[in-house]
Amino acid sequence: MTVRNTKRLIGGVMALLVLVAVLNLVLVWWKPARHVDYFEVVMPLFMVVVFAGTWRRLSAIEAEHGPDYVQPAPPGARKVLIAVALVALVLGAIAGYLAVTHR
């Protein structure tokens, strides 16, 4: 994936997170409750800050190599992705089994 496409993806994610934060604030204001967990209201904005750091790093790479630069995959990335997919598959199967058998 090129730097340009990665920045587009991260920009879209950041826009959705800002939308979620705004909707959370609107719901807190529109339907006030006795107990409001402000951490859940502000958490999307924390994620925007995390993605902003990635955006800044990608901007530096883009300035150095150009927008169509394709970053090399880190060594062992395929093995990590396969392991994560297998763990997700096993946990999904266990959750499905428990959902079916414990009604």
What is the full DSSP assignment across 37-88? -HHHHHHHHHHHHHHHHHHHHHHHHHHHH-TT-BPPPPTTHHHHHHHHHHHH
The answer to whether the CB of 14 falls within 8 A of the CB of 53 is no
Domain total in the chain? 2
Domain match, 65 and 77 both: no
Confidence of residue 102 (pLDDT cuts 50, 70, 90): confident
Distance from C-alpha of 99 to C-alpha of 103, rounded to nearest angstrom? 7
Say yes or no: 12 and 24 in one domain: yes
Q: Which domain holds residue 102?
A: 73-103
Q: What pTM value is reported for the model?
A: 0.67
User: Does residue 42 share a domain with residue 23?
Assistant: yes
Q: Say yes or no: 24 and 35 in one domain.
A: yes
Residues 45 and 87 in one domain: no
The pLDDT tens digits for 33-85 are 777 778 888 899 999 999 999 999 999 999 999 999 998 888 898 899 999 99
Cβ neighbourhood burial of 74 (10 Å; 0-12, 13-18, 19+) = exposed
**59 and 84 assigned to the same domain:** no
